[in-house]
């Protein structure tokens, strides 16, 4: 049951990504993981290479200028003297880089390991220039990440002629072609998962009443057109490949239209979540039988007329006709998969459509090539509509996750935890009654009995509903952890009929300005108030950069912070300051300002804390944890999403230990 629910959730929902960006500092006990040496190479009287050599500590990665967008920060070169004393000619040449798949960003990253050399070409604008200054900015990561930056002065009078440079330097110009790919299993893991989930979605679409009955029709078409078995197999292969190409082209259009990563920033946007909620709601109602989402009939007629011409062109149009005619069933699934994949970024929409189309194409191609297999197929009937209706219930349940995200960001408390769980109980309870034959929908066939498979699915659904019911009284529901609103976003955080100050719950007096956070941890949502209280009680500070719609933040709170040894520290040994970067509450007019980091107007408290995080810690994603002392100095290296309880515990103890020294 756990695997099934996890599969459903993962198929349609890709969590907001999180960051591990950290600024370079010289706090107690911390050593820089990268050191630089520089020199100058002379190309001619006006052109030079400014050469940067990096020595990188073991297991740390320094990210290339060409690192993928939306992941760790790439290296950048700049200069205040540019366009006055010299011009910067393109990007720097790089020595050998490496590639590896990042579980944090779900992308393949490009980086230097152990050492790296970069050669930035410049062209002088004046003849008397003898010294220039160049700045670099980038990021190195291990288990955490550090921001690196610096200004470097170059004496052009000490430049070395390019012809005298060794072979290593001469080879740098071709380094972009010499990238080494790290272990393949890590690189492909994220996209492989997406492919498999999309394949299952395609299989579900295959078992709908718009698609499944077309298999024998397609076989009949190829049987009449093919003069021999060999020709039939060839035509079937062309037909299957045509289906795949059509859907992959659709995925390519999404990548082209939205870019590789442009939808990532929308993950916590309430309007985007509401739009996705409405989209899924329409799809669900369509699947339940209220109406059909169909393309103009003229399109199908044109495709059919082209298909009758025969030959390869006819086969291709036959595949296109399948896509058009079956759109009322496949459209909602394709739409959901595409939007979810687009939020993941990169080539995910293409991979998603490849997996989806492969699941549909394989049966059509195989049955077209081997018509005798048709005898093993189950007959079309009411069970096809049952599949469609079940998909409708699932889409309806998933829709409310996106509405919940918007509610959390706006903090309206319209869809609190109990209401969300109640809605799911109603949806999946109704689905169980439907599977048991107690409810009939518009397109259902008369039901004299239910099959064993339908009975077992009904029992599974009813079991899930019973599991959800204790959640109304405060059960944690770890099976769906991170999906419903958090425990503290609830009408009754301590169960029905209980509150913090009555009903038998231990009474505590909160510090002035604090609120009850996750697991009743006293938490400040204002930095200055929390800092003042920490000085008063003599405890270190845990800065928790978080978000209302941050799934990984909820997972940390529900799975790591709930551990007794972690919870004891958070309640007794530190002062927690939780800064929500997606709060939409407006700042007073007199406190609004223009960000020095982004140049944008800071209008809300969420903007303020996000800008504070970027300005002070050079990071902009959540969760992001910083332990600091009363002088606002870091006590140890920062950390981010880390579900390993022991590592998180050791990180807390290390920081607290440094505070006491």
Query: Do residues 86 and 170 share a domain?
Result: yes
Say if residue 300's pLDDT is above 60: no
Per-residue pLDDT at 276: 77
Last residue of a domain, one of 445, 479, 504: 504
Most confident of 162-171, 443-452, 639-648: 639-648
State the Cα–Cα distance between residues 261 and 253, nearest whole angstrom.
Answer: 14
**Backbone φ/ψ region at 292: left (φ over 0), alpha (ψ -120 to 50), beta:** beta
Asked if residue 227 belongs to a domain, the reply is: yes
CA angle 188, 348, 404 (to 5 degrees): 115
Within 13 Å, how many C-alpha atoms sit on residue 506's CB side? Answer: 4
Structure tokens of 289?
């039988």
Per-residue confidence (pLDDT) for residue 619, from 0 to 100: 72
Task: Considering only residues 18 and 626, tell me which one the structure prediction assigns the higher pLDDT.
Answer: 626
Give the pLDDT confidence score for residue 466 in this predicted structure: 95
Specify whether 119 is located in the same domain as 250.
no
**Given 123, 151, 182, which residue is the final one in a domain?**
182
Q: Give a yes or no: residue 635 inside a domain.
A: yes
User: Do the Cβ atoms of 17 and 640 come closer than 8 Å?
Assistant: no
Is-contact 544 576, C-beta < 8 A? yes
Number of separate domains in the chain: 4
pLDDT at 6 over 50: no
Number of Cβ within a 10 Å radius of residue 83: 10
Check residue 513 and give left, alpha or beta (phi > 0: left; psi -120 to 50: alpha): left
Predicted local confidence at residue 317, as pLDDT: 65
pLDDT of 545 over the 70 cut: yes
State the number of CA atoms in the 13 A half-sphere of 528 facing the CB.
1
pLDDT 10s digits, 628-638: 999 988 898 88
Provide the 10 A C-beta neighbour count for residue 474.
Answer: 17
Lowest mean pLDDT of 67-81, 272-286, 288-302, 587-601, name the range. Answer: 288-302
Distance CA 279, CA 395 (A): 10
Nearest to 212 by CA among 100, 313, 363, 394: 363
Strand (E) or helix (H) holding 222: helix 214-225
Residue 16 lies in a domain: no
β-bridge mates for residue 138, sequence order: 148
User: If pLDDT is split at 50, 70 and 90, which confidence band does 210 have?
Assistant: low
Region class of 495: left (phi > 0), else alpha (psi between -120 and 50), else beta = left
| Co-location of 270 and 124 in the same domain | no
Range of weakest confidence among 192-196, 419-423, 529-533, 539-543: 192-196
Least reliable range by pLDDT among 60-69, 96-105, 318-327? 318-327
Residue 62 resides in a domain: yes
Percent of the chain's residues with pLDDT above 70 = 69
Q: Is the pLDDT assigned to residue 130 strictly greater than 90?
A: no
**Average pLDDT for residues 408-412, to the nearest whole number?**
78
Query: 627 falls in which pLDDT band (50, 70, 90)?
Result: very high
E strand map for 227-301: none
- Say which range, 201-210, 296-305, 611-620, has the weakest mean pLDDT: 296-305
pLDDT (tens digit, 9 = 90+) per residue, 372-390?
665 555 555 566 678 778 8
Indicate if 233 and 210 belong to the same structural domain.
yes
Rounded average pLDDT over 317-330: 61
588 or 102, which is more confident: 588
With tokens 């200054």, the residue in question is: 133
> Considering only 123-132, 134-143, 261-270, 616-625, which range has the smallest mean pLDDT?
261-270
Domain encompassing residue 450: 416-504
Query: Is residue 495 in some structural domain?
Result: yes
Predicted local confidence at residue 164, as pLDDT: 43
Do 481 and 579 fall into the same domain?
A: no
Distances (CA, A) of 21 to 24, 404, 514, 596: 10, 28, 28, 19
**pLDDT digit string (tens) for 388-404?**
788 788 878 888 888 88
Q: Are 137 and 78 found together in one domain?
A: yes
CA distance 427 to 481: 19
Q: Are 196 and 10 in contact (CB under 8 A)?
A: no
pLDDT, averaged across the chain:
75
Task: Report CA dihedral (377, 383, 388, 389) to the nearest 10 degrees.
Answer: -170
CA distances from 206 to 220, 326, 330, 594 (A): 18, 10, 8, 53
Q: What is the pLDDT of residue 262?
A: 44
Assess contact for 574 and 652: CB atoms under 8 A. Answer: yes
Do 231 and 346 share a domain, yes or no?
A: yes
Q: In what helix (H) or strand (E) does residue 646 lie, and over which residues does it extend?
A: helix 645-660
């Amino acid at each position: 049951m756990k695997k099934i629910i996890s599969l459903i959730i993962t198929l349609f929902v890709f969590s907001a990504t999180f960051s591990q960006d950290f600024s370079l500092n010289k706090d107690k006990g911390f050593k820089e993981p990268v050191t630089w040496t520089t020199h100058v190479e002379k190309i001619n009287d006006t052109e030079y290479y400014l050469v940067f050599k990096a020595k990188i500590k073991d297991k740390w990665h320094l990210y290339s200028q060409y690192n993928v967008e939306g992941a760790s920060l790439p290296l950048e070169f700049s200069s205040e003297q540019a366009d006055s004393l010299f011009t910067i000619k393109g990007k720097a040449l790089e020595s050998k880089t490496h590639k590896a798949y990042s579980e944090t960003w779900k992308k393949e990253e490009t980086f230097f390991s152990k050492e790296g050399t970069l050669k930035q070409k410049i062209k002088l604008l004046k003849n008397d220039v003898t010294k220039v200054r160049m700045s670099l900015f980038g990021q190195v990561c291990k288990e955490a990440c550090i921001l690196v930056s610096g200004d470097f002065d170059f004496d052009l009078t000490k430049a070395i002629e390019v012809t005298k440079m060794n072979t290593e330097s001469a080879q740098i110009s071709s380094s972009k072609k010499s990238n080494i790919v790290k272990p393949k299993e890590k690189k492909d893991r994220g996209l492989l998962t997406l492919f498999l989930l999309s394949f299952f979605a395609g299989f579900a679409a295959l078992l709908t009443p718009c698609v499944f009955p077309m298999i024998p029709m397609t076989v009949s078409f190829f049987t009449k057109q093919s003069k021999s078995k060999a020709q039939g197999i060839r035509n079937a292969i062309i037909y299957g490949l045509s289906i795949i190409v059509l859907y992959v082209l659709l995925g390519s259009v999404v990548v082209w239209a939205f870019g590789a990563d442009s939808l990532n920033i929308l993950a916590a946007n309430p309007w985007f979540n509401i739009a996705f909620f409405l989209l899924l709601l329409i799809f669900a109602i369509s699947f339940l039988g209220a109406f059909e989402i169909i393309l103009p009939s003229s399109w199908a007629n044109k495709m059919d007329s082209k298909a009758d011409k025969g030959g390869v062109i006819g086969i291709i149009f036959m595949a296109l006709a399948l896509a058009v005619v079956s759109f009322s069933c496949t459209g909602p699934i394709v739409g959901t998969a595409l939007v979810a994949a687009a939020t993941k970024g990169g080539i995910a929409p293409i991979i998603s459509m490849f997996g989806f189309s492969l699941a549909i194409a394989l049966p059509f191609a195989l049955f077209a090539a081997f018509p005798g297999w048709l005898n093993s197929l189950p007959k079309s009937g009411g069970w096809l509509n049952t599949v469609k209706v079940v998909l409708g219930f699932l889409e309806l349940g998933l829709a409310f996750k996106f509405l919940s995200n918007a509610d959390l960001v706006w903090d309206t408390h319209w869809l609190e935890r109990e209401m969300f769980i109640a809605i799911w109980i109603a949806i999946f309870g109704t689905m169980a009654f439907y599977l048991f034959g107690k409810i009939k929908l518009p397109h259902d066939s008369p039901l004299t009995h239910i099959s064993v498979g339908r009975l077992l699915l009904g029992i599974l659904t009813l079991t899930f509903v019973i599991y959800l019911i204790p959640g109304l009284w405060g059960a944690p529901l770890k099976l769906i952890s991170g999906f419903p609103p958090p425990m503290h976003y609830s009408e009754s955080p301590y169960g029905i009929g209980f509150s913090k100050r009555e009903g038998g719950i231990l009474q505590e007096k909160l510090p002035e300005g604090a609120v009850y956070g996750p697991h009743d941890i006293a938490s400040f949502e204002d930095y200055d108030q929390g800092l003042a209280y920490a000085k008063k009680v003599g405890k270190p500070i845990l800065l928790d950069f978080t978000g209302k719609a941050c799934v990984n933040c909820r997972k940390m709170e529900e799975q790591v912070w709930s551990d007794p040894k972690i919870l004891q520290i958070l309640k007794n040994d530190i002062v927690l300051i939780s800064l929500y970067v997606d709060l939409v509450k407006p700042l007073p007019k007199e406190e609004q300002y223009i960000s020095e980091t982004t140049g944008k107007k800071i209008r809300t408290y969420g903007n303020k804390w996000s800008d504070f995080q970027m300005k002070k810690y050079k990071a902009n994603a959540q969760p992001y944890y910083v332990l600091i002392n009363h002088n606002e100095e870091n006590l140890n290296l920062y950390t981010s999403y880390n579900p390993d309880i022991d590592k998180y515990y050791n990180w807390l103890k290390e920081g607290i230990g440094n505070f006491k020294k």
